[in-house]
Amino acid sequence: MPPSKSCPALLISAPSSGQGKTSITAALAYLHRQAGKHVRVFKIGPDFLDPMILERASGNPVYQLDLWMTGESECRKLLYEAAVAADLILIEGVMGLFDGKPSSADLAQLFDIPVVAVIDASSMAQTFNAVAHGLKTFRLSLPFAGVLANNVASARHAEMLLDGTPKGLNYFGFIPRKEQFALPSRQLGLMQAKEIHDLDHRLASLAESIKATDLATMPGSIQFKAEPEIEIEPSLRGIRIGVARDLAFSFLYHANLDLLNSMGASLVFFSPIADRGIPACDSLYFPGGYPEMYLQELEENISMKESILAHFKANRPIYAECGGMLYLLDSLTDKNGYEGKMLGLISGRAFMLNRLKGLGYQSWDSSKGEVRGHTFHHSESTINLTPSGYARRTSDGQAGEPIYKLRNLTATYLHFYFPSCPSFAAQAFLPQNLSFLGKSPTVA
């Protein structure tokens, strides 16, 4: 096994969601990238939107770190690989520092990564110090580096925040409140990076403010240990997978795509919105996203719908999750009442809601083993198909989201993390006629 590798690293957390973790992490990555540093950024938890912003800022793919979903071994492997190539590793936490089981604090403590807490000070003065003190002392074994005040109204406001600073608390400085620093959001979180036309300008402006703080200083180095290599069976060798990827279908884990590649599959991306048909492929992958925002485009792309239907009738594999599953139904109705006709591969209808319908970690005991993931959606579906099984909620062990199987099609609301069970991914994308009849795959 190779020796451990050292690399400067920092984990950006907060007392809660909405404090500015993503903005600060992205701007810090942007700042060091502009200085010529190779920056790798990770996101704790099962998030798709924040990583899009972080990728734009760092110029590198962003992977998830999650002690339950990805597992400790995979987290260690990802961090070591980043340390080998990077000048700086930044990790954005999830929710509040101690929220969740496991939490951002748990990961920071396990890998001895110093934590900076971003605190939105817009509605407080001296209480800022009480919050900061609580975060620092709640778990004394945590490598707590200090705090950064965000959304500070003025120099006088900054002085008030420092009135009564507890002894031993490291204060990195403050970020002023400016409209151009805020990142626009919608129901599931931040807007997608491609939708924010002035994102680079926002990041550059915020990075200039970070320059005036001690946070701009390169953090200390951390030792990251290597993990034994796990051999991946090339069970998808020669299989060509068409992956839907555009503004309607964009919720993709890089680790999922990496795994499919390592199993021998070749991936070709296409747009159900803009392309006239699917590419030559053996299997289709429809990830989650925002199909409800592009109902008319999806509905009117008849040639695309016909090509997918032909693929389905040929009994070739289709794997769809969350928004991808909604695209397979008869119709999807947005919050304004517009009903768009979808593919009709699965008999059923879905409706967008003004409230969260599904949230949390879940796992499924598939025939190939336990596969882990999460659910997060604002829609409700009526599906006229008996589920082949139900996932299990980690919160209480009760039945979670259904998993639907129809011929060679698999669909669910869950976003699965394929590396948690590679054989599940192989089963989902391997055409039955290839696995049992030994036929050759499609060649582009």
Of 395 and 372, the one with more pLDDT: 372
∠ CA 16-188-115, rounded to 5°: 30
Q: Is residue 231 part of a domain?
A: no
The model's confidence at residue 444, banded by pLDDT at 50, 70 and 90, is very low
Contact 333, 351 (CB under 8 A): yes
Among 197, 224, 251, the domain-final residue is: 224
pLDDT digits (tens, 9 = 90+) for 276-291: 999 999 999 999 999 9
Asked whether residue 439 carries a pLDDT value surpassing 50, the answer given is no
Domain extent at residue 79: 5-224
- Quick one: average pLDDT of 412-433? 93
Q: What is the pLDDT of residue 187?
A: 59
pLDDT of 60 above 90 = yes
What is the rounded distance in angstroms from the CA atom of residue 258 to the CA atom of residue 70?
A: 14
pLDDT score for 107: 98
Which pLDDT does position 189 carry in this prediction? 67
**Sorting pLDDT into bands at 50, 70 and 90, what band is 358?**
confident
Q: How many CB atoms lie within 10 A of CB 423?
A: 16
**Residue range 300-311, pLDDT digits in tens:** 999 999 999 999
Q: Is the same domain home to 361 and 269?
A: yes
Instruction: Give the pLDDT score at 194.
Output: 80
Choosing from 7, 75, 281, 322, the catalytic residue is 322
Catalytic status, residue 322 = yes
Q: What angle do CA 64, 66, 67 make, to 5 degrees?
A: 150
The reply to whether 230 falls in a domain is: no
Q: What is the mean pLDDT of residues 139-158?
A: 95
CA-wise closest residue to 64 among 49, 196, 282, 183: 49
Residues 68 and 62: their CA atoms lie apart, in Å, by 18
Res. 320: pLDDT tops 70: yes
Sign (positive or negative) of CA dihedral 313, 319, 324, 326: positive
Average pLDDT of the chain is 92
Same domain, 74 and 160: yes
Q: Is residue 229 part of a domain?
A: no
pLDDT digits (tens, 9 = 90+) for 222-257: 999 999 888 899 999 999 999 999 999 999 999 999
**Domain co-membership, 23 together with 155:** yes
pTM as predicted: 0.93
Q: How far is CA 291 from CA 147, 250, 268, 271, in A?
A: 39, 10, 20, 12
> Please, which contacts does 432-437 make with residues 24 or more away whose CB atoms are closer than 8 Å?
432/315, 432/317, 432/408, 433/315, 434/239, 434/282
CA distance 13 to 281: 42
Residues 218 and 261 in one domain: no
Residues 169 and 194 both lie in one domain:
yes
Q: Which two tokens stand for residue 354?
A: 């003004």
Q: Where does a domain end: 224, 255, 275?
A: 224
Q: Tokens 């429809």 appear where? A: 286
Number of domains into which the chain is organized: 2
273 and 344 together in one domain: yes
Q: How confident is the model at residue 188 (pLDDT cuts 50, 70, 90)?
A: low
**Confidence at residue 442, expressed as pLDDT on a 0 to 100 scale:** 46
Specify the CATH number for the domain of residue 44.
3.40.50.300
Cα(241)–Cα(260) distance, integer angstroms: 9
